Structure 1
Amino acid sequence: MLPATMVPGGLSETKPATPEIQHIVDQVKPEFERREKRTYDIFRAIEYKTQVVAGINYFIKVQVSDTDYVHLRVFQALPYEKQGPRLDSYQTGKTRDDPLTYF
């Protein structure tokens, strides 16, 4: 049975970012920068939520400047599929206090 925080379809509670989450953010940074047509000196994962689907959706708050944040939705396929994380969607113009929600 899955732990309560891993209920399929539901979002987990907000957790502080870990080195694993920062690694995921680092892997999708080039795609984010390509879509935004700019580069970021700061790209630091702050906190995240997960959603179990046929893989895991990560909703990650990322600091991109002293005062600016973005929210990323990154899909990680199941391990046997041997695929890296995929940037599915993002929201810009966020603040440190904006809650992570489904988007």
Structure 2
Amino acid sequence: MTTSSNESLFRSSFYHITANKLVLLGVLLLGIIGASMAAEKKRMGGMTGVTSLDNGLVSDEEKNLIQGLLDKVKPDAELEARRKFEELTPVAYATQLVNGVNYFIKANTGGTGDKRYVVIRLHKSFGGDVTVHSIQVDKTEADPITYF
């Protein structure tokens, strides 16, 4: 082989190896981007599973957060429901990450002998403002929390 054919073979091999590396890098980057987009879809938009506040697995801090949200919106929720609530005690909730967080909170509205429930959908902005979006009344303890 001559020197020029050796150079030609080297250049050809170099470009072939470099092209393979670039293709591999492109595939790797597309995989990373696809995985991050899939993870983002799981975090944004869909409701989480329902969390029961009666199962002993929820921290006091979390319970206080949910009760605090209900305390903030109770007057507006009563207006929306067109009745007064003797109490508004959360029993379960789900969340949805949007431009802030939507909370779907099932709460007992009666005294100890009255098992009347509502599900309140409220929105907490990233700035901390809490507003009632909508409410479902005349729910039972067995009614599931669903998107509305």
TM (normalized to structure 1)?
0.85
Does structure 1 conserve the Cα–Cα contact (< 8 Å) formed by 2:80 and 2:135?
A: no
User: Higher helix fraction: Structure 1 or Structure 2?
Assistant: 2
Q: Does 1:95 align with 2:140?
A: yes
- Alignment counterpart, residue 68 of structure 1, candidates 116, 124, 146: 116
- Alignment counterpart, residue 46 of structure 2, candidates 10, 17, 22: 10
Q: Which runs of 4+ in 1 moved over 3 A?
A: none
**For residues 4-83 of structure 1, what are the structure 2 equivalents within 5 Å?**
7-17=43-53, 18-65=63-110, 66-78=114-126, 81=127, 83=128
Which letter does structure 1 place at the counterpart of 2:133?
A: D
Moved more, 53-62 or 34-43: 34-43
Could you tell me how far 1:42 is from its partner in structure 2?
1.5
Return the index of the structure with the highest Cα Rg.
2
Identify which of structures 1 and 2 has the higher relative contact order when contacts are C-alpha pairs closer than 8 Å and 6+ apart: 1
CA RMSD of aligned residues (A): 2.0
TM (normalized to structure 2)?
0.61
Give the gaps of 5 or more residues in structure 1.
none
Give the gaps of 5 or more residues in structure 2.
1-35, 54-62
Query: Alignment partner of 2:119: what SS?
Result: strand
- What is the alpha-carbon distance in structure 1 between the residues aligned to residue 131 and residue 87 of structure 2? 20
Deviation track 1:27-56 (CA, whole Å, cap 9, x = no partner) reads: 100111123333211110111000000100
Aligned length, in residue pairs: 98
Query: Alignment partner of 2:144: what SS?
Result: coil
- What is the alpha-carbon distance in structure 2 between the residues aligned to residue 89 and residue 37 of structure 1? 12
Does structure 1 conserve the Cα–Cα contact (< 8 Å) formed by 2:81 and 2:135?
A: no
Q: Taking every aligned residue pair, what percent have the same amino acid on both sides?
A: 34
User: Higher strand fraction: Structure 1 or Structure 2?
Assistant: 1
Could you tell me how far 1:13 is from its partner in structure 2?
0.9
